[in-house]
Structure 1
């Protein structure tokens, strides 16, 4: 009986964690759309065209950070679900999903780090 209660609580916690991830993604999309609209409006100003590329990059990086956070929550939900998965098939499916999410998060973070490095490098020191 106790193991069934723990299993049920763990599954509910994983569902809540997935809900948090969905909320983080929703916030990211809303913020991304709002910031994109601001970039579009600013691009019509005389000084906007030169700053437009950096502003778009900033929107992309912020969205990427939010998505990386959501992927972490989704991975946590997968781990919780794996802890109570009764069959090897379900464990295998969750392992595949967790691997894909971890790889996505790794490459997303790598891109964010590269962009941050480009942003912090003075223009005169940039090659190319």
Structure 2
């Protein structure tokens, strides 16, 4: 006699993971949505404050990029969860394609974020120097 004990049958496990996938993917979508709304509101405020010049664009873009990267990570986690229980070869192939696309997007966004951060740091370092030069020459700082 073979003793078999299952904590949760495969069908029940699939249902539970299905719920988790929806929760994780919803979280990712909400993160992206909140980031987009936040960035839009900040952009409008920056345009209004600066009289149409849109100053602060780099900071807004940097923060939006962070939201996008985090949201995409959640979406990828949902895809991994979806194939956690007895995946078929087609599901594995789909996961590989989706993971490759989302990883490439994350990589590109990561590079953009690093570039934006470096530009902001360069701008921040340049401002005090311009102020000091302006004071020593008797002109107003830009």
- TM-score in terms of structure 2 length: 0.75
Asked whether the 8 Å contact 2:58–2:120 carries over to 1, the reply is no
Q: Which has the larger radius of gyration?
A: 2
Aligned-residue RMSD, C-alpha: 1.8
Partner of 1:13: 20
Alignment partners' CA distance in 1, 2:112 and 2:45: 23
| Secondary structure of residue in 2 paired with 1:83 | coil
Q: CA deviation at 1:84?
A: 2.5
Deviation at 1:119, TM superposition (A): 1.7
Greater shift, 111-120 or 30-39, is seen at 111-120
Higher relative contact order structure (alpha carbons within 8 Å, sequence separation ≥ 6)? 1
Gaps of at least 5 residues in structure 2 are 1-7, 130-142
Determine the C-alpha separation between the residues in 2 that align with 1:74 and 1:20: 8
Tell me how far 1:8 sits from its aligned partner: 1.5
Matched, 1:22 2:49: no
Matched, 1:31 2:32: no
Aligned 8 A contact 2:24 2:77 in 1: yes
Judged with a 3 Å threshold, the aligned counterparts in structure 2 of structure 1 residues 37 and 81 are, in CA distance, closer, same or farther, namely: same
Per-residue CA deviation, residues 24-58 of structure 1 (Å, 9 max, x unaligned), is 111111101100111110121xxx84x71xx0111
Q: Which runs of 4+ in 1 moved over 6 A?
A: none
The structural deviation recorded for 1:87 is: 2.1
107 and 73 in structure 1: CA distance in 2 versus 1, 3 angstrom threshold: same
Q: Which stretches in structure 1 are left out of the alignment for 5+ residues?
A: none
| TM-score computed with the length of structure 1 as normaliser | 0.83
Contact 1:85 1:91 in 2 (8 A): no
Structure with bigger helix share is 1
